[in-house]
Amino acid sequence: MYNNVKLDKSLYSITGRSFTEALAQLDPDENYTGTELASLDAFERQLKRFDIKVSGSGCDRVEKFFTSRESAVLFPEYVRRMIRQGMNEASILGDVAAATTYTDGLDFRGLTVTVSGSDTGVSEGGTMPSTTVRLASSAQTLTKYARKLNCSYESIKKQRLEAFGVILKGLGAQISRAVNKLAVTTLSTGVTPSSISGASLTYADLAAFWASMGDYDMNVMICNADVMAEILALDEMKYCVSDYMSSGRVKTPYGVTIVKCSGVASGKILGIDSSCAAEMVYGTDIVVDFDKLISAQCDEIACSVSVGFSKLTGGAVKLLATTA
């Protein structure tokens, strides 16, 4: 049972397993099927074991993690989860990446997909249309993004975990915005922008941009805040207000999700078919320095992640310049 698991910092160093996965091997989730603990994962069960409340009424202070040597082992995973949550909340990758891949290398070679031939039918002995998949001609180096929070244990130990978690999530959000920019830069590279018909963006321009993708389905448009405000000010977008109020998502009347991202160049809209446009490659998940955090001898909290992107299908990416 979770009350008898021996916690040790070596759980962070098991190759190929996260801390929670290592815990789950010692305390399998299936042991709790049908019980009141079924909704908790192995880490959350340890929080319950040591009565550490990280949010809500009765939220504990940071120092609660350090009431024993074993409970201190949980602190780095708490930090990592808060940073990851902040990354997820600020990320646009759920709307962009068609596939996610993990590698243990420092670089990667993505796939490229090329479609040729006609789909009008094949005559006897004729040449069949083909889809060709090749490795990219050159390897791409994964980009490492990192940030550190300058703080001593003495300065944070009396802080409520819920408030401290907000700071950690902000750290993750800053990293995520940099990753977002890498994604849109990779997808935009080599794409020639089309132009609007007049001096300013119209709803007809958006519709024409959507139609320009041909066989692919442009289901996502990505732009910065200024361009998004211009789109939302169009008369035709007033019919989408009720959808936004119910779901928090901005969509055109024909169903395209509009995503705000500061990484998109000013005056540009990036349109993609998110089912086939991009592959995201992780070299590492969020990494934190667990040794210092467990010992409470830290003067900073450092975190990093290594990522890269590959454009899978060139025809599934379009770019529109919103200024004449």
Q: Indicate the domain borders of the chain.
A: 1-49, 95-116+138-152+182-324
The candidate with the shortest Cα–Cα distance to 83, out of 291, 285, 292, is 285
pLDDT greater than 80 at residue 20:
yes
| pTM of the model as a whole | 0.87
Pairwise pLDDT comparison (245 vs 253), residue with the higher score: 253
DSSP 160: B
Average pLDDT, the chain: 89
285 falls in which pLDDT band (50, 70, 90)?
Answer: confident
244 falls in which pLDDT band (50, 70, 90)?
Answer: low
pLDDT greater than 70 at residue 8:
yes
pLDDT greater than 70 at residue 324:
no
Q: Model confidence over 69-87: pLDDT tens digits?
A: 999 999 999 999 999 999 9
Pairwise pLDDT comparison (136 vs 40), residue with the higher score: 40
The pLDDT, as a whole number, for residue 10 is 93
The candidate with the shortest Cα–Cα distance to 289, out of 86, 9, 4, 2, is 9
The pLDDT, as a whole number, for residue 231 is 92
Mean pLDDT calculated for residue range 112-141:
76
The pLDDT, as a whole number, for residue 238 is 84
pLDDT greater than 90 at residue 250:
no
pLDDT greater than 70 at residue 245:
no
Mean pLDDT calculated for residue range 158-174:
95
Q: Model confidence over 172-190: pLDDT tens digits?
A: 999 999 999 999 999 999 9
Distance of CA 67 to the CA centre of its chain: 34
Q: Model confidence over 256-274: pLDDT tens digits?
A: 999 999 999 999 999 999 9
* Angle (nearest 5°) at CA 137 between 283 and 313: 75
> What sign has the CA pseudo-torsion 53, 55, 60, 62?
positive
The pLDDT, as a whole number, for residue 300 is 83
Helix, coil or strand: residue 228 = helix
107 falls in which pLDDT band (50, 70, 90)?
Answer: confident
